[in-house]
Structure 1
Amino acid sequence: MRRGGRPGAADRRAARGAAGGGAAVTAGGAGEPTSARSARAALTRVLEPGDERAGRWLRQLGPDELLRRFTAEDGSAERLPGMTAARLGGYRLRAAAADPGRDLATVAEAGGRFVCPGDREWPSQLDDLGDARPVGLWVRGRPDLRLWSLRSVAVVGARACTPYGAHMAATLGSGLAERGWVVVSGAAFGVDGAAHRGVLAAGGATTAVLACGVDVAYPRGHAELLGRMVEQGLVVAELPPSAHPTRSRFILRNRVIAALTRGTVVVEAALRSGSLATARQAQRLGRFAMGVPGPATSGLSSGVHELLRGEGVLVTDADEVVELVGDMGELTPDRRGPVLPRDHLDASTARVLDALPYHGAARARDLARAAGASTDETLGRLYELHSLGFVEREGDGWRLTPPCPSNDDARRGGT
C-alpha cells in the first residue's frame, strides 16, 4: 500500500471484486499469537482511542508486556515515559475489569471478529496514523475490511442537515456505489445516514465507523439502518462490545474514517464541525479533502466554503469525486451547454442573422450594411437562413420567423 491509501494494481483489482460482491471472511487472520490478540482486545477496553502516548508504549513493548505492566505491582508501569500516578490509576482500574475472552466471545456471537495490525484483513493505510493508530478493530459484516478500504471514499457532514444536504449525500452515495466504490461514514443522523442509505438503495458497499461498540445501536433511531449495514456491508469500531460513545470519542473516530479512505467529501458543515476535522485529518495524512458547495447564506455550508477557500477541492457529483481519487483515466465526462441551432451557422451567416431586427422586417440593403457584407452576399445568406427556417420573406423585406416562446432565445442564440 502506498501512502495516501493509493493501492497497487493487484490491490485495485481485488478491491473492485470485493466492492462488487463482498468476500466473506470469518476471522481476521493469524497476524499475532493468541496471547497478543487477547492482550490487544483487553487494551481496547483500557486505552482511549487515539492515545498516542499509550500507542508509543504499545509499539515499544508489545501488547502482552504493556498489559502486564498495567496490572503488575512491580513498579514497571511507573517507569513508562510520561506516566503519572493519576493516569496509571485509571489504566489499572480499567485493566482489572477487562475480560478479553468475554468480549471476543460476545462479538463472535454477533457474527463479528477482532482484527489486529498484521492480520490479513488489517487495512495497512491505518498505519499512517503512527502511534495514534487503533489498537485493533472490532468488525461486524461479511466482507473483507482491507479489500473494501482499498477503494473507498468518506462522505460526512452535518447531523442537522438541510433537505439539500440529505439529497446530495444520498446522490453521492448511490453514484459512488454504482461506480464500484465503497462509501465510508459514521452512521450518524443527517448526512451520514443519507449517504449510507443512498449506497444501500443502489445495492452498493458501505462501511460505518462507530464511536461505540459494534453491538450498540447508536443513534438508536438508526438501529434498522445499522442492521442493514451488518447484512450488506461492514460496521467497524475501535471500542469493545457494549462501549458507549462520548463527545471525545466521536472526534477521535473521525481520524479512522480519514485514514481508512482515499479521500473525504464534506456535505454541509458549520464552521465548528467534526466533519471539517475529518477533512483536515485527511489532508494531514495526504488524502484528498473535498467539499460540496451550498448557498452562501447557509450557516451549514459556511464550514464547507471555508474548506474550499483553502486546499479543499470543490465537487458536485460522484464523477468529480472519482476523477480526483480514482485511477488514471477515470475522468469526468466533458460538460457543456446544449447545442443551439445557431451554433451550426458559419460566421458570415450568423452576422446576417444578428442584423435582423427582433420585430418587423428589414430590406436586404440595410441588412448588408449592418452585417458588413455586400448586398449580393447578404441575399445569399438570407436565402440560406430561409431554407433553415430562421427567416421568412415579407414583401421586399426579411424578418425573423416567429419562434415558439420556449425556443425564442435558442433561435437567436441568446443565453
Structure 2
Amino acid sequence: MNTTGIRALDATTFDAIRGSTRDGDERRAEAEARALLGFLSEPGDVVLGRAVAAVGARATVDLIVDGAGPSDLASALGRDGDATSIQQAVQAFKRWQPRLDDGEFARSLVQAARVGARLVVPGDAEWPWRLDDLGAAAPLGLWVRGRPGALAEAEAAISLVGARAATGYGQHVTAEASAGLVDRGFAIISGGAYGIDGTAHRAALASDGTTIAFLAGGIDRYYPSGHETLLSRIAETGAVYSEVACGTSPSKWRFLQRNRLIAATGDATVVLEAGLRSGSLNTASHATDLGRPLGAVPGPVTSPASAGCHRLFRERDATCVVDAAQMAELASRIGTSIDARAVAGTGTAGDAGPTRPAAEPGPDGVRVLDALSTRSARSVDDIARLSGMSPGHVMAVLPGLEAEGLARRDVGGLWTRRVVRR
C-alpha cells in the first residue's frame, strides 16, 4: 500500500460516506486519513492518538505507509532517542502494518456506503464533543447510521447500562428511569445489548425520545442479531455509532473499548443492575476515570444480579439513585465547562446554557415555554398557536427567555426549549 492508495478512492463513494461534497481538499484528505488510520488500528490506540495529535492524521498516514521506521515515529512525537518511546513505536508498527491492504480498506468503505453509514470526524459539527475528554484514546472518527448529529445536538445525555441477564426488577427500574429521563430532556445512551441496554433503548423510543447505541463491531452488521429491528428503530430517530470500520467483528477487547465511548458521551453513567462479572462495571470504571458522575441502583442484598451495583457503592463511591429524578440530579453534577464546549468546536459559550435559570419566568414566559419543544424547532406562529398568544406578544417574550438560557433560536428563526438541569 502507498499514500496514493487512499487518495485514489472513488470520489462518489467517499462523498456518500461524508454525506455531502461540502469538504474542501484539506478537509477531505483529513477525513480520508482518519478513515484509514481507524481501519489499521484497534480502538483506544494511544500511540496512534498521540501521533495524530502531534503531526496530524495525513502526516501519520505518510509515516506508516511510506516505510518510515519507529525512530521516525518517535521523533514525530517529540521523543527522539527515547528508548521507551522507540520500543512503543516498534510495537505500534507491528500492529498497524499487517493491515495495510488497499483492497480490504476500499471494500470496507463500499460496504459503509451500501448501508448508508456516515463518517464523522473531529471538527465536524456532528462530532460528539464529549469524546474529546478521552484525549489520546479518543476515536479518530465515528461511523454512524441514523442522524449523524444526534449526540452532538443533545444538550443533556445520560448513559444507562447493566447486565445482559437482567431480572424483571432490573428491567422495570430501567424502563421507568429511561422514560422519566426522556421526559426531562435527556438523550439515552447505551450499548444495544440484551437486557438492561435493550430495555433502556426501548423505553426511550416508546417515550418519543432520542436514544443512541454504541456498537463494538462494524455498523454494517447490527449486533446482537436479535436486536437488528431495535437498532434499526434507534437509527430512525437517533443514531447507532461505532469507531471500527465496516466489516469488523465485535470482540471482547472491542466491547471493553466501546464502553469508554458510552461513559464519555454521557453527562453521567448509571448502572441499573449488574453482577460481579458484568461488563457494565467496566463502563463504570471508565466513567470515574473521566470524572463523570457515577450512579448505581441498589437491589436485594440476596440477588447476585445486583452484587455489582453494591460493589460500586463500596469501591467506586457510586451514588445511590433509585429513579429518574435522582439520575437527572446526578447528571447535573458534571464539571464540563461552558468554555470547553466552545473549544471543542461544536458550539459557542452561549450554547451551553446555565445549570439553572437566573429567575423564574412570569406567566407569559411559562405559556411560551409550554409551547416550546426540546426536540422540535418551532416557528413564532406555531408557538403563538400553541400558547394562545399573539405572534407579536410571543416575539416580545422570547428574547427574555433566550437571555435567561431557557430558549434558543436556531438557524432560520425557529425556536426550541433548552434543557435546564436542576
Structure 1 position 50 matched with structure 2 position 56 = no
Cα displacement (A) at 1:243: 1.2
Q: Deviations over 1:28-74 (max 9, x none)?
A: 97596211110101111111001112211121121112122222224
Q: Deviations over 1:336-372 (max 9, x none)?
A: xxxxxxxxxxxxxxxxxxxxxxxxxxxxxxxxxxxxx
Which residue, 225, 228, 233 being the options, matches 1:228?
233
Which stretch of the first structure deviates more once superposed, 238-247 or 303-312?
A: 303-312
Q: Which amino acid aligns with 2:61?
A: L
> Do the aligned partners of 1:78 and 1:88 also contact (CA within 8 Å) in 2?
no
Q: Deviations over 1:374-413 (max 9, x none)?
A: xxxxxxxxxxxxxxxxxxxxxxxxxxxxxxxxxxxxxxxx
Which residue, 301, 310, 320 being the options, matches 2:326?
320
Alignment of structure 1 residues 350-365 onto 2, 5 Å? none
Cα displacement (A) at 1:175: 1.4
> Do the aligned partners of 1:28 and 1:115 also contact (CA within 8 Å) in 2?
no
Alpha-carbon distance change, 103 to 191 in structure 1, aligned in 2, over 3 angstroms: same
Structure 1 position 308 matched with structure 2 position 302 = no
Which residue, 59, 71, 81 being the options, matches 2:53?
59
Q: Which amino acid aligns with 1:33?
A: R
Cα displacement (A) at 1:231: 0.9
Cα distance in structure 2, aligned partners of 1:143 and 1:202 = 21
Cα distance in structure 2, aligned partners of 1:226 and 1:183 = 14
Alignment of structure 1 residues 1-400 onto 2, 5 Å? 26=19, 30=23, 33-75=27-69, 79-80=73-74, 81=85, 82-83=87-88, 85=90, 87-97=92-102, 102-142=107-147, 144-309=149-314, 310-326=316-332, 328=355
3-state SS of paired residue (1:145): coil
Q: What is the identity percentage for the equivalent residue pairs of Structure 1 and Structure 2?
A: 42
Alpha-carbon distance change, 49 to 165 in structure 1, aligned in 2, over 3 angstroms: same
Cα displacement (A) at 1:285: 1.2
Q: Deviations over 1:267-301 (max 9, x none)?
A: 11122222112112112212110001101011111
Cα distance in structure 2, aligned partners of 1:134 and 1:231 = 24
Q: Which amino acid aligns with 2:28?
A: T
Q: Which amino acid aligns with 2:47?
A: R
Q: Deviations over 1:84-104 (max 9, x none)?
A: 656423311212246655544
Cα distance in structure 2, aligned partners of 1:283 and 1:98 = 41
TM-score w.r.t. the length of structure 2 is 0.68
Alpha-carbon distance change, 314 to 35 in structure 1, aligned in 2, over 3 angstroms: same
Cα displacement (A) at 1:79: 4.7
Cα distance in structure 1, aligned partners of 2:289 and 2:171 = 27
In the alignment, structure 1 segments of 5+ residues that lack a partner are 1-24, 331-415
Cα displacement (A) at 1:253: 0.5
Cα distance in structure 2, aligned partners of 1:306 and 1:76 = 43
> Do the aligned partners of 2:268 and 2:331 also contact (CA within 8 Å) in 1?
yes
In the alignment, structure 2 segments of 5+ residues that lack a partner are 1-17, 75-84, 333-353, 358-422
3-state SS of paired residue (2:295): strand
> Do the aligned partners of 1:30 and 1:119 also contact (CA within 8 Å) in 2?
no
> Do the aligned partners of 2:118 and 2:148 also contact (CA within 8 Å) in 1?
no
Q: Which amino acid aligns with 1:158?
A: A
Q: Which amino acid aligns with 1:224?
A: T
Cα distance in structure 2, aligned partners of 1:26 and 1:151 = 26
Cα displacement (A) at 1:75: 3.3
Q: Which amino acid aligns with 1:323?
A: E
Equivalent residue, structure 2, for 1:6: none
TM-score w.r.t. the length of structure 1 is 0.69
Q: Which amino acid aligns with 1:289?
A: L
Alpha-carbon distance change, 148 to 272 in structure 1, aligned in 2, over 3 angstroms: farther
Cα displacement (A) at 1:149: 4.1
> Do the aligned partners of 1:268 and 1:303 also contact (CA within 8 Å) in 2?
yes
> Do the aligned partners of 2:47 and 2:89 also contact (CA within 8 Å) in 1?
no
Alpha-carbon distance change, 52 to 291 in structure 1, aligned in 2, over 3 angstroms: same
